[in-house]
C-alpha cells in the first residue's frame, strides 16, 4: 500500500484503530493513519475530519459520519462506542477517525476503555493536535525560548457544555505564560473575564484561530479585554482555538501560511 523501507503493522479483522486525523491539512496525517485509511473495511469519522482526508478513503470502503458538534444534533457517545464494538465483532477492520489527536480533549480514552471492557483489540494512532499543529499554521509557536518555558492546554467546556467547575483560575493565570483554549468561543466572555480577574492583563495579546490548517483558516489578533467584541464583529464561529500570551506577537514575523 505504501512503498516504505519498513513494515507497518497489520490491521487485523475484528479490531479497532483509534486514529487522529490532525487539525485539517491532509499532509499532516501520519504514515500510520494513512495506512489505516487504506486498510480499513469501515471508517467511523468525526465531523471535524477534513473533507480532503475523507476523500482518501478507497472506493468500496464504508464511511460512517458519527461526529459530535456542540449545539448541534449529534450522535450520542454511547451509540458511537456501541457501533465500534458491533462492527469489530462482525469481523471488520474498523477505523475510528477523529480530528486532531484522540487523546487530547477528545473521547478517545472513553472509547478505548469501552473496547477493553468489550474484549475488542485496538490500537492507538496519535495525531497532531490542533493546539500545536493548528497554531503552527497560524504562525504561532506554543513555546519560544524568549517568551515562555511553559504552556497550558485547557478545554473551553466540559462534557456538559459548561466551563469545568474544577478550574482554579488564579493558578491557571499564574501557572503558564501561554494558555491555549480548545473550544473556547462558546464561553469566551467568561474565559476572558475570569482570566483578567485572576491577574492577566487586559491588553495581553490574544489570537483566535478558526478552522486551523484548512483553506478556511481565519486568524484574529486582539487583546484579552477586546476579544469578545472583536470576535462578534468578525462573526467568527467554531471550531476555534484561543491563544493567550506573548507568543501571539511572534505572528508578525512568522505568519507564513498561504491558503
- Catalytic residues, by residue number, are 46, 68, 183
Question: C-alpha angle with apex 167: 162 to 169, nearest 5 degrees?
Answer: 115
- Beta carbons of 140 and 247 less than 8 angstroms apart: yes
Residue 111 φ/ψ, nearest 5 degrees: -70, -40
**Which residues does 139 contact at the CB level (< 8 Å), separation at least 6?**
219, 250, 251, 253, 254, 255, 256, 257
- Beta carbons of 241 and 130 less than 8 angstroms apart: yes
Report the distance separating Cα 2 and Cα 143, nearest Å.
34
HSE-up (13 A, CA, CB side) for residue 199: 10
Amino acid at each position: 500500500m505504501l512503498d516504505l523501507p519498513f513494515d507497518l503493522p497489520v490491521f487485523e479483522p475484528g479490531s479497532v484503530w483509534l486514529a487522529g486525523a490532525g487539525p485539517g491539512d491532509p499532509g499532516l496525517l501520519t504514515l500510520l493513519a494513512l495506512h489505516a485509511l487504506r486498510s480499513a473495511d469501515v471508517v467511523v469519522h468525526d465531523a471535524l475530519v477534513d473533507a480532503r482526508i475523507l476523500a482518501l478513503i478507497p472506493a468500496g470502503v464504508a464511511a460512517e459520519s458519527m461526529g459530535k458538534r456542540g449545539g448541534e444534533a449529534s450522535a450520542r457517545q454511547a451509540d458511537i462506542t456501541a457501533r465500534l464494538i458491533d462492527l469489530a465483532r462482525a469481523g471488520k477492520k474498523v477505523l475510528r477517525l477523529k480530528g486532531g489527536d484522540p487523546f487530547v480533549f477528545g473521547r478517545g480514552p472513553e472509547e478505548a476503555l469501552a473496547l477493553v471492557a468489550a474484549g475488542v483489540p485496538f490500537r492507538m494512532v496519535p495525531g497532531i493536535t490542533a493546539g500545536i499543529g493548528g497554531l503552527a499554521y497560524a504562525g504561532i509557536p506554543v513555546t519560544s525560548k524568549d517568551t515562555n518555558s511553559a504552556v497550558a492546554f485547557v478545554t473551553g467546556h466540559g462534557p456538559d457544555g459548561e466551563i469545568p467547575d474544577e478550574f482554579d483560575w488564579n493558578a491557571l493565570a499564574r501557572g503558564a505564560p501561554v494558555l491555549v483554549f480548545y473550544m473556547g468561543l462558546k464561553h469566551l466572555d467568561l474565559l476572558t473575564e475570569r482570566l483578567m480577574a485572576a491577574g492577566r492583563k487586559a491588553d495581553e495579546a490574544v489570537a483566535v484561530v478558526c478552522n486551523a490548517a484548512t483553506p478556511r483558516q481565519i486568524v484574529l489578533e486582539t487583546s484579552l479585554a477586546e476579544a469578545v467584541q472583536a470576535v462578534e464583529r468578525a462573526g467568527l464561529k467554531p471550531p476555534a482555538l484561543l491563544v493567550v500570551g506573548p507568543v501571539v506577537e511572534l505572528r508578525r514575523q512568522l505568519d507564513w501560511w498561504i491558503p
